[in-house]
C-alpha cells in the first residue's frame, strides 16, 4: 500500500519537476539536519550548552519537503523544535551550532538558544518557545503577504501538543474569516511531551479535521516520504497562492528522541523501545528517500554514504567553530532590546530606556 502511494506522489508534477540536483539537495538537507542534531546531542551531553535541546531527528522529511516548496514570498514559522526548519531554509550549521553554545557568532548572537533560531532574510521567522504562541504570528505574516498584495503564504508549523491552545483556534478562525494565505501544519509525532494524542486531545477522525469547524480545507498525510510531503503540501501552497485561502495539514511523523533531551521516560516509559525501533527500521524518512533515489538511479550507495559523511563532517566542524567562538560581551545585553536605541535614532536617545541604577 505504502509503495503504491509513494509511486503516485513521486509522479506528482511538483516532484516530476525536480532535477537530479534538486533531489540530491533534498537528501543532503535531511542528512545535514540529522547529523547536526546528533552532534549537538553529543556536545549537549558533554555539557557544552545550557537549557533545553528538542531534537527533530525522525521528522526531517517534513521541514525539508516544505522548505523545498518555498518561493520568494513564502514564509515559515515554527515552535521550539526548530533546528530542522532553520537548516532546511538555508541557515548555516556554524551559526546554528554556535547559538546552542551561547556564542556571539550564533544566529541570535547567543540571545535565543536552541528554541529561538531566526533568519528573516530567508523568510524564516523562528523558533518560538511558548506552545501555540507562534500560530497568531504565522497568521499575521500571511496577513502581511496579502496586505502587500504578494503571491505567497506562511507555513505555520506546530506540534500536536499545540492544537489545544486557544491561540491556535483563534488563528484558525482569523485565517478562515479573513481568507489569509496561511498553511497550518501540525507535525504530529504522537506525543505532547509524555502525553499521547489520545490522552490529550478530543477529535473526530484526526486532529486536522477540526478545520471543518472553521470551514477550512484540511488534509492528513504521512510525513515519512518527502515526495508525499511535497505533493500534498503543494496543493495547500497553490490554494494559498491562487485563492488566498488557508489550509490545515496534519503530517504524521515520529521523533526518535524524547520531547527534549531531559525527557528520560520516552523509552519504555510512555512509549516502548519496540515502537521506536520499528519506526527507525521501517519508517525512517532518510532511508525511505535514499531508497527512492537508489531505485531511480539518482544516487549510488557510495554517493549516498559520501553525502551523509560530508554532512557529519560539516556538523563536527560546526561544533569546533562554536567551541572556538567567543561568548558575547556582557555589554551586548543592552543591544537588540529597542530598534530605536540600536540604530542611534533621536527616538532611541530621548528619555531613559533602561533602569539599572
Partner 1 sequence: MRQLSYRHAIREALDEEIARDPMVVLMGEEVAQYNGAYKVSEGLWDKWGDKRIIDTPISEAGFIGMGVGASMLGVRPVMELMFWSFYTVAWDQIINNAGMVRYMSGGLINCPIVIRGPANGGTSVGATHSHTPENIMASFPGMKCVVPSNAYDAKGLLKAAIRDNDPVMFMESTVLYGEKWDVPENSELPDGELVIPLGVADVKREGTDVTLVCHGRAVITCLKAAEILEEEHGISAEVVDLRTIRPLDEETVYESVRKTHRVICVDENKPFLSVGAQLAAMIQLHCFDDLDAPVQRVNSIDTPAFYSPPIEKMQLPYPDVVVAKVLEIC
Cell numbers placing 24: 540530491
The verdict on 109 binding partner 1 (CB under 8 A) reads: yes
Q: Which of 311, 356, 271 is nearest to 87 (CA)?
A: 311
Site residues for partner 1, 128-147, by CB under 8 A, read 128-130, 133-145, 147
The verdict on 281 binding partner 1 (CB under 8 A) reads: no
**CA dist., res. 236 & res. 88, Å (int):** 19
Instruction: Tell me how far, at minimum, the Cβ of 352 lies from partner 1, in Å.
Output: 5
Instruction: Tell me how far, at minimum, the Cβ of 298 lies from partner 1, in Å.
Output: 36
The verdict on 86 binding partner 1 (CB under 8 A) reads: no
Q: In the block, which residue shows the cell 479535521?
A: 209
Site residues for partner 1, 157-176, by CB under 8 A, read 166-167, 170-171, 173-174
Cβ atoms within 10 Å of 206's Cβ, excluding its own: 16
Q: Which of 141, 81, 149 is nearest to 115 (CA)?
A: 81
Instruction: Tell me how far, at minimum, the Cβ of 56 lies from partner 1, in Å.
Output: 19
The verdict on 122 binding partner 1 (CB under 8 A) reads: no
Instruction: Tell me how far, at minimum, the Cβ of 103 lies from partner 1, in Å.
Output: 11
Residues 6+ apart with CB under 8 A from 220: 205, 206, 208, 209, 249, 250, 252
The verdict on 8 binding partner 1 (CB under 8 A) reads: no
Cell numbers placing 125: 521567522
Site residues for partner 1, 181-200, by CB under 8 A, read none
Whether a cis peptide bond, with omega within 30° of 0, leads into 127 is: yes
The verdict on 335 binding partner 1 (CB under 8 A) reads: yes
Q: Which residue lies nearer to partner 1 by CB, 327 or 354? A: 354
Q: Which residue lies nearer to partner 1 by CB, 19 or 343? A: 343
Sort 133 into a burial class: Cβ within 10 Å, 0-12 / 13-18 / 19+: middle
Pairing of β 153-159 and β 195-196 = unpaired
Instruction: Tell me how far, at minimum, the Cβ of 140 lies from partner 1, in Å.
Output: 2
In the beta sheet, which residues pair with residue 196? 191
The verdict on 51 binding partner 1 (CB under 8 A) reads: no
Which positions touch partner 1 (CB under 8 A)?
A: 75, 77, 106-112, 116, 118-120, 125-130, 133-145, 147-148, 154, 166-167, 170-171, 173-174, 177, 335-340, 342-343, 345-347, 350-355, 357
Amino acid at each position: 500500500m505504502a509503495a503504491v502511494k509513494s509511486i503516485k506522489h513521486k509522479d506528482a508534477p511538483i516532484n516530476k519537476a525536480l532535477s537530479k540536483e534538486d533531489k540530491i539537495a533534498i537528501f543532503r538537507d535531511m542528512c545535514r539536519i540529522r547529523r547536526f542534531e546528533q552532534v549537538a546531542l553529543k556536545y549537549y551531553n558533554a555539557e557544552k550548552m545550557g537549557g533545553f535541546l528538542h531534537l527533530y531527528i525522525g521528522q526531517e522529511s517534513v521541514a525539508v519537503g516544505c522548505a523545498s516548496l518555498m518561493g520568494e514570498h513564502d514564509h515559515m514559522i515554527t515552535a521550539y523544535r526548530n533546528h530542522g526548519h532553520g537548516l532546511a531554509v538555508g541557515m548555516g550549521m556554524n551559526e546554528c551550532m554556535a547559538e546552542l553554545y551561547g556564542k556571539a557568532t550564533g544566529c541570535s548572537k547567543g540571545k535565543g538558544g536552541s528554541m529561538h533560531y531566526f533568519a528573516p532574510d530567508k523568510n524564516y521567522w523562528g523558533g518560538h518557545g511558548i506552545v501555540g504562541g507562534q500560530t497568531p504570528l504565522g497568521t499575521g505574516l500571511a496577513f502581511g503577504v496579502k496586505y502587500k498584495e504578494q503571491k505567497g503564504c506562511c507555513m505555520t508549523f506546530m506540534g500536536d501538543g499545540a492544537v489545544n491552545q486557544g491561540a491556535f483556534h483563534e488563528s484558525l478562525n482569523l485565517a478562515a474569516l479573513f481568507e489569509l494565505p496561511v498553511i497550518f501544519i501540525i507535525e504530529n509525532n504522537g506525543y505532547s511531551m509524555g502525553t499521547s494524542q489520545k490522552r490529550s486531545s478530543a477529535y473526530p477522525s484526526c486532529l486536522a479535521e477540526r478545520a471543518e469547524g472553521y470551514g477550512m480545507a484540511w488534509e492528513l498525510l504521512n510525513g515519512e516520504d518527502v515526495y508525499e510531503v511535497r505533493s500534498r503540501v503543494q496543493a495547500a501552497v497553490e490554494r494559498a497562492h491562487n485563492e488566498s485561502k488557508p489550509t490545515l495539514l496534519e503530517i504524521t511523523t515520529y521523533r526518535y528522541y524524547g520531547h527534549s533531551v531531559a525527557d528520560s521516560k520516552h523509552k519504555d516509559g510512555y512509549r516502548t523501545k519496540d515502537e521506536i525501533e520499528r519506526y527507525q527500521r521501517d519508517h525512517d524518512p532518510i532511508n525511505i528517500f535514499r531508497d527512492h533515489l537508489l531505485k531511480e538511479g539518482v544516487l549510488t550507495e557510495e554517493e549516498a554514504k559520501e553525502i551523509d559523511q560530508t554532512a557529519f563532517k560539516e556538523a563536527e566542524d560546526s561544533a569546533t567553530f562554536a567551541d572556538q567562538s567567543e561568548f558575547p560581551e556582557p555589554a551586548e545585553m543592552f543591544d537588540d532590546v529597542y530598534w530605536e536605541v540600536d540604530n542611534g535614532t533621536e527616538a532611541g536617545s530621548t528619555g531613559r530606556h533602561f533602569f539599572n541604577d
